Amino acid sequence: MDEQDDNAFKDEDDPESDGVDGSPSPHSDGETSPHSDDEASPRSDSETDPEGNPTGELETDTAAVSSGNVEDKQAGGGCKEDEGMASRPPGYQDPPSYEETIRMSAIKVEGETPKRDRDEDLEWDQDESVEPNVIVNPFSDLRDGSPQEDIELGEMPGRSPRLTGATAEVTPSGDSIKRFVQPMEIESQTTQKPFHICFSEMNSRSLLIIIFSILIAIVAVLIVVLLPLAFSYVEYYELGLKQQRSTGQVFFNDGAFESGRHAVGPDYIFKKYPSWATSVHLDDIAVITTAGLSLSFSCSFQYFIREEELGLLEQRFDQGYPEVIKFVAEAALKNVAASINLSLYLEQRRQVEILFHDALRAKLGGNCCPDLEECLRYDTCHLCSNSDVCSRGYHINVPFFQLLEINLPDVILDRNLQVQLMHEEAEKETFLQQERLTRKRTEELVQGILNSASEVTNNSTSQASLIQSLGEAEARAIVEGSVSGGLTLMYNSMNVTVDQHKASLHWLRTLEKQDRLVMGVSFQEYMKLIKNWTVT
């Protein structure tokens, strides 16, 4: 198949083997015709013979073009230099031109009548700067009865070839089917033009597209660069005032910005302040009291900047407000510490801390009520003022204060220690005396309770003995009376009237009460009893 394609290319390049009637082959796009586009004129029907072959005038023009192209190639002209000519193998031929490709794409098997397939579509790019794309199926069968047609290249849309007189004739070229060349392959084989020629061929639309693309790229770069700069960040622990980057001007009246991301513009940033508590520690504040006593103390406090008054704070003190607040706080504490009695430092530390805290809030926070509704709710309006002439202080709130160490002179401490020891000794002696007195009183109470218990016990014992004796006597009397009555009744029933007999009977009754008493009526009964007792 490749050999057949090479033969087909050779047949097309050879002027003697072109076509049936010997018409010359068209030239490639890269070869410039001596006849420019301005001098070219469209072909008319009179310039071709009845079978579609070009006339002698066209052959003359084509020969002139071919000779001119050969001279240009020999002179080194064209858009691409012919490098490596010596290294090309024998029989090498240049790739087909644009017109040749159009003509070759429609060649069919020799002996069949060529025709134009009307079902095939020729797709042309409407942009004049792009070569047309031809979609032709060379393997489809020709329709019967279709006449041979000539394709006028000058009548096709898109960019027409420079040789307006050249035509593409559909003719058979042999027993084999020639190779189908894609337009992209043709473009890759075409020669490259110099920059000034390519630039001159660009139309106004392409220039507008390039300019518009450059503008879009510039705008995109500006957006990418300026958009992040337009946003400024305030952290959750910060407050910010808007500040112009170029001039350094701070906008006090715009209010404070809370945490977040704010679109303030590329020329603006935030001048930041802390939004949470700022701790201040004061060490060894020396004070001389009104009594002439020298002492020192340490303390710490925490303050918050008022968000609504941040602009006023910046306007008055700028970023130097921490030193100002520290200096003013130390002065206020000294004034209060000088008027406090020594006994408060020694005995009432909590009261001293409250006095210091109140002094700091009045000096640094001012006496203006921040919120009338809030102070009415918590009944604290007496501590602040709602008038227009109230003092805002230094635009901060001091909610926390800690009194740390109080350093008094050693003499004062020793004297106070001795006094405290004397008080302790006196209290100790008082407690000892109270202890002795309490013990005596306790012993007295115990003895009284014991005496009362003994008295009650003795009385109870005596009464119990008396009651028992009376009961026994009464019981004995009742028993004896009953016994006497019973004996009398028994004597009467037995008709015993003699006192001697009554005494014998009474003696027998007494013996009857004995445990080992053996009684019998006759000797025989007595003997029986003796025997039984002996055996047992």
Question: Of 200, 215, 240, which closes a domain?
Answer: 200
CA 168, 172, 176, 177 torsion-angle sign = positive
Tokens of 263: 């679109």
Residue entry with tokens 């003995």: 465
Residue entry with tokens 């005032």: 241
Q: Is residue 482 domain-shared with residue 501, that is, in the same domain?
A: no
3-state helix, strand, coil in the chain (%, to 5): 50, 15, 35
* DSSP 8-state code for residue 460: H
180, part of any domain: yes
Q: Is residue 40 domain-shared with residue 152, that is, in the same domain?
A: yes
CATH number, residue 398: 3.30.479.30
Number of domains in the chain: 5
Q: Mind listing the pLDDT tens digit of every residue in the chain (536 residues)? A: 444 444 444 444 444 444 434 444 434 443 334 343 443 443 434 344 444 444 444 344 444 434 444 444 444 444 444 444 545 556 566 666 666 766 666 554 444 444 444 444 444 444 444 444 444 444 444 444 444 444 444 444 444 444 444 444 444 444 444 444 444 444 444 555 565 565 565 567 788 888 899 999 999 998 888 888 888 888 888 888 888 888 888 887 788 888 888 888 888 888 888 988 999 999 999 998 887 888 899 999 999 998 888 888 888 888 888 999 999 999 999 999 999 988 888 888 999 999 999 999 989 988 777 665 666 665 656 566 666 667 788 989 999 999 999 988 888 888 888 888 999 999 999 999 999 999 999 999 999 999 999 999 999 999 999 999 999 999 989 988 888 888 888 888 888 888 888 888 888 778 777 777 766 556 777 677 777 766 55
Per-residue pLDDT at 323 = 93
Phi, psi of 348 (to 5 degrees): -125, 70
Q: Is residue 323 domain-shared with residue 430, that is, in the same domain?
A: no
| Residues 197-205: contacts with CB under 8 Å, at least 24 apart | 197/79, 198/79, 201/129, 202/129, 203/128, 203/129, 205/127
Q: Is residue 309 domain-shared with residue 347, that is, in the same domain?
A: yes
Per-residue pLDDT at 140 = 45
Task: Convert the pLDDT of each residue in 148-181 to its tens digit.
Answer: 444 444 444 444 444 444 444 444 444 444 444 4
Question: Of 276, 311, 330, which closes a domain?
Answer: 276
- Looking at the DSSP bridge assignments, the partners of residue 287 are 295
Separation between Cα atoms, residue 227 and residue 19, nearest integer Å: 68
Q: Is residue 48 domain-shared with residue 113, that is, in the same domain?
A: yes
134, part of any domain: yes
Q: Is residue 484 domain-shared with residue 380, that is, in the same domain?
A: no
User: For the stretch 481-520, what's the b/e string if a residue is b when 16 or more beta carbons lie within 10 angstroms of its beta carbon?
Assistant: eeeeeeeeeebeeeeeeeeeebeeeeeeeeeeeeeeeeee
Question: Of 408, 429, 456, which closes a domain?
Answer: 408
428, part of any domain: yes
User: For the stretch 251-268, what's the b/e string if a residue is b when 16 or more beta carbons lie within 10 angstroms of its beta carbon?
Assistant: eeeeebbeeeebebeeeb
Task: Convert the pLDDT of each residue in 472-520 to its tens digit.
Answer: 999 989 988 888 888 888 888 888 888 888 888 888 778 777 777 766 5
Q: Is residue 196 domain-shared with residue 216, that is, in the same domain?
A: no
Q: Is residue 449 domain-shared with residue 389, that is, in the same domain?
A: no
**What domain range is 77 assigned to?**
2-81+88-200
Q: Is residue 427 domain-shared with residue 452, that is, in the same domain?
A: yes
